[in-house]
Structures are given as C-alpha cells and as structure tokens.
Amino acid sequence: MHSKNIVHGDIKLDNILYTDRGVLKVTDFGLSSAFKPGALVYGKQGTHGYMAPEIYSANGYNGPPVDVWALGVVLHLLINNKFPFSRKTMKKIVSGKLPFNFEPPTAAGHTCAELLKSMLCLDPMKRISMKEILVHPFMKTKSHGPSKRTCDSESADSGPSKRLCKSKGSSQNIRSHEDKKSEEEIMVEPAKKNRIPGPKKRGRDSEGVDLRQRKRLCKSKGTDSL
C-alpha cells in the first residue's frame, strides 16, 4: 500500500479482518489518501487511541509513519489488552507537559517488545517502516495457525484479540468494548434523519363514508357485502 503511495489513515482493530485461512485483510479506506514522498500531510483524521502524536500538531506529518504507529497500537492491544496511551496522555506528551516514556510489554517476548518500541517511536523519522517490519525477526516467529474457535463460542477469550476471529465460516469484525472515548472518531458522518410515519388514511367511498365503518354495519345485518 505504501509502495503505491497510499496511506490508510485509520488502521485499527475494527478495520482488520481475519479469514478462515489465516489471512489478514485491511478494510475501510474511507480516510485513505494518496501522498507524494517527502510531502507533508495536514489535518487531523483517524481514531483517538490509534493516532500518532505528530497528527495532533499543526506542523504537518508524513503519511506512512502514521500507519506504522497505528499498527503498533494494534499489536500492543493484542498483547497487553489495553491502549499504550490514553487520549489525554497523548495530548500532554505533544504539548510537552509530559515526557514520552514507553516501556513495551514483554509478555510476547523481547523480540516483540523490540518491534513495538520501534513502531511506537515518538520521532516519526526514527520510526520503523513497513518494509523493515516485514523483515523483522519477530515476523519470522513460527505461528501455530488460526484458531478453530468461533467468535460466538462461550469459551472464547475476551479482549481485543477476540475481534480477529472466525464466525460461521466467514471473517467477522467484532466491535471494541474498550473505553469508547479513546476510540471516538474525529471524522463523523452526519446522522440520518429518521422519518416518522404518520397515521394511515382510511379508505372512503364516493359518498365520503368510511369503508370500514360501513362494513361493520353490514356485518351486523348478517352480510359481508358493501
């Protein structure tokens, strides 16, 4: 995607699908855009909790490192079951009120922790690229294959990792149940206006008499004819 000069702009768990063959697919390109190498992007877009720190500044930013940061947040969620930074913490870091201090979890091993630290790097110029991620030692870790459990299984684990799963033979995107404030999207579509249906008009004959009322009168006389 980046090799074709396209930045996704909104990578998150809700936009990643997991097929029954163990293939990951990225969806929802509503905020994606083309970019020129070296050219800066302006404007805040994405989902809070996944947005790179440079997005909050007004100085512009490069597109690809933003996707790398968001993907690092996804990896952190799958391993540690929580966001690495809250929205308030990130704003304090950007404004200089709070120093940037990130210690990656070691639950998945030191190789994974090293990758996380390079993905969630404050300086976008020093942040690892997608090409470098693909050849990182962590990517060579052997996988046991996709889980055979389904999303609606009562024994399925809870947490963000539950969102990447297989349900009834097809990929299904499970909504996040974490703090909704941290995942509040900046770009929101206007709500659709719901039309409230009015009362149905009663049918009337040529003389203006209510047909249902006339039918009831006819039935009381022992006939259904109008």
Active site residues: 10
> CB–CB of 127/69 below 8 Å?
yes
The Cα–Cα gap between 62 and 211 comes to: 71
- For 95, the token pair is 């404004």
- The DSSP-derived string for 29-82 is -TT-EE--TT--B-S--SBTTT--GGGGSSS-B-HHHHHHHHHHHHHHHHHHSS
> Measured at the alpha carbon of residue 131, what is the angle toward residues 35 and 10, in degrees to the nearest 5?
50
| Nearest residue to 133 via CA among 74, 55, 173 | 74
Phi-psi region of 90 (alpha: psi -120 to 50; beta: other; left: phi over 0): alpha
